Amino acid sequence: METTSKAFSKEILNIENIELVCDEICHKLRGNIKNQLRRRGAVVGISGGIDSSVVLALACRALGQENVIGILMPERDSSPESLTLAQALANKFGVRTVVENITATLEGFGCYKRRDEAIARVFPEFNPLTDKAKIEIKQNIGQNLPSLFSLTIITSAGEILSKLLPVNEYLQIVAATNFKQRSRMAMLYYHAESLHYAVVGTPNKHEVEQGFFVKFGDGGADLMPIGHLYKTQVYQLAEYLGIPQEIIDRTPTTDTYSAEQTQEEFFYQMPFKEMDLIWYAWENQYREEEIAKVLQKSVDEIHNIFKNFERKQHTTSYLRAAPIF
Amino acid sequence: MTKDRRIHEKLLKYIIEVTFLDKDVIKDDTLLFEEGIFDSMGLLFLIDFIRDTFHIDTKDNELLVENFASVNSIAAFISKRIGFEESKKLVISDK
């Protein structure tokens, strides 16, 4: 591996001129919407999370708040906090909002029923009315083997049970749950088309490149203005743009399963600060020894994390691929 | 054919079937994950195959590279588990 010229450090991803970065993103966003997509404004799905909040703020800055609309799409399993925070964000930026509860849509698709059937095949005692469930990765990212998902249920009595998910149940749970993101995408396009607006997507760099999105779900958008930013950089923009502190302080969750679940336990397996730095190092071909020294980890661990990134990017390339013809 | 060799053969046949690779490409010591022959879904389907074929449920703490790196290591893992299950049966039948 070749070494890049800039020495690796924990500060390497700090944005020096945030105002300039925001201006560049907004200039591009405005140009893309007006000239390339030829739309009048932007629709943003807001969840009370950091990424969608930053995108909404950027869209307001680029197009003016009167040309932006925030769509809130809670469903049965959403945390009530998501709705409250998303509404507080919209109020702060003076953006119109529409609340679309998608629970009935998801019931129509059989989303909950199909998911709960698969859960009950793993845990026959599971009661969807009283128990909560989530899927999570339990293996260490430093282990040189692909990670698999376990199903965890939390019974009404507070008992926590966990099992490695068999392949058929894993696939059914994921496929059923993906109705959530795909229903939201359909709803965003309804509002976008009815207003002649563009759908502005909210994935950050990790979500795009590690494949932490649903194809034709949250991956379905006309443009993704923060798709090139690391998560820690999204936080830097959030501070600069004046995103409400409760949103900045909130632990990133998937807000998809009935049991509470952080993005770290669901997918990333390491804290964002560390992941950003190691991903940057991997992408820019820094030497494993240099990273290990700065982050006080073993060279073997860094090597295995690099392998894990490589595997995730390779395995999820299908999600980023355009239709083949 | 020995019991261990039969495990090897069943694994090789399965891997060739699901990967569409030429049988000469997969050797007993080919590093299945390191060389990109299997990814996470490949591992998940492999665990299913092990359960259906050898009646072994893989546990979270057994998902280690030393148990799944190659046909050799998977076969060793299966042999060890079969030996353990058989010894459990012996203990039960001795009672």
**Which helix (H) or strand (E) covers residue A25, if one does?**
helix A18-31
From chain B, the residues in CB contact with A144 under 8 A are 33-34, 65
Domain positions in chain A are 18-108+178-262, 109-171
Which residues of A are part of a known binding site for ATP? 45-52, 202, 231, 253
User: CA of A167: which chain B residue's CA is closest?
Assistant: B44
Among B94, B81, B65, which Cα is nearest to A145's? B65
- Could you say which of A166, A307, A311 has the minimum Cβ distance to residue B48? A166
Average pLDDT of every residue of chain B: 85
Closest residue by Cα to residue A168 from B18, B47, B81, B15:
B47
Q: Is residue B93 over pLDDT 60?
A: no
B3 lies within 8 A of chain A by CB? no
The reply to whether residue A145 touches residue B59, judged by beta carbons under 8 angstroms, is: no
Residue spans of chain A under pLDDT 70: 1-5, 138-144, 261, 263-268
With an 8 Å Cβ cutoff, are A146 and B38 in contact?
yes
Identify whether the C-beta of residue A237 lies closer than 8 Å to the C-beta of residue A24: no
Q: Which CATH number fits domain A18-108+178-262: 3.40.50.261, 3.40.190.10, 3.40.50.620, 3.40.50.2300?
A: 3.40.50.620
Q: What pLDDT, on the 0 to 100 scale, is given for residue B84?
A: 66
Residue B91 is predicted with a pLDDT of 52
Would you state the torsion angle of the CA atoms of residues A249, A254, A255, A257, taken in this order, to the nearest 10 degrees? Answer: -140
Spatial distance between the Cα atoms of B47 and A241, rounded to a whole number of angstroms: 48
pLDDT digit string, tens, across residues B27-43: 999 999 888 889 888 99
The range of the structural domain enclosing residue B72 comes to 3-19+26-94
Q: Which residues of A are annotated as a binding site for deamido-NAD(+)?
A: 182, 215, 222
pLDDT at B83: 80
B90 in reach of chain A (CB within 8 A): no
Looking at the structure of chain B, the number of domains it has is 1
Residues of A in contact with B59 (CB under 8 A): 164
Q: Is A114 on the interface with B (CB under 8 A)?
A: no
Provide the ipTM. 0.79
**Cα Rg, chain A, nearest whole Å:** 20
**B62: domain CATH number?**
1.10.1200.10
Of B36, B60, B68, the CB nearest to A150: B60
The predicted-structure confidence for A208-253, as pLDDT tens digits, reads as follows: 998 889 999 999 999 999 999 999 999 999 999 999 999 999 988 7
Q: Which residue has the higher pLDDT, B32 or B86?
A: B32
Distance CA A172, CA A241 (A): 40
Tell me whether B25 touches chain A (CB under 8 Å): no
A283 Cβ contact partners less than 8 Å away, ≥ 6 residues apart: none
pLDDT at A263: 67
Residue type, B85: E
With an 8 Å Cβ cutoff, is A98 touching chain B? no
> A148 touching B, CB under 8 A?
yes
The pLDDT, as a whole number, for residue B25 is: 86
Q: Does B77 touch chain A (CB under 8 A)?
A: no
pLDDT value for A246? 96
Predicted pLDDT at A2: 46
**Partner residue facing B65 (CB), from A144, A150, A170:** A144
Alpha-carbon span A309 to A295, nearest angstrom? 17
Mind telling me how many Å the CA of B39 is from chain A's nearest CA?
6
pLDDT digits (tens, 9 = 90+) for A32-61: 999 999 999 999 999 999 999 999 999 999
CB-based contact, A160 to chain B, within 8 Å: no
Q: Enumerate the residues of chain A whose CB falls inside 8 A of the CB of residue B31.
A: none
Q: Is the dihedral of CA A58, A60, A64, A69 positive or negative?
A: positive
Inter-chain residue contact B63 with A143, CB threshold 8 Å: yes
Q: How many CB atoms lie within 10 A of CB B73?
A: 18
pLDDT for A142 equals 57
Contacts of A147 in chain B (CB under 8 A): 40
Long-range interactions of B42-45: CB distance < 8 A, separation 24+: B42/A146, B42/B18, B43/A145, B43/A146, B43/A148, B43/B68, B44/A148, B44/A165, B44/A166, B44/A167, B44/A170, B45/A167, B45/B18
Query: Å from A140 to nearest chain B CA?
Result: 10
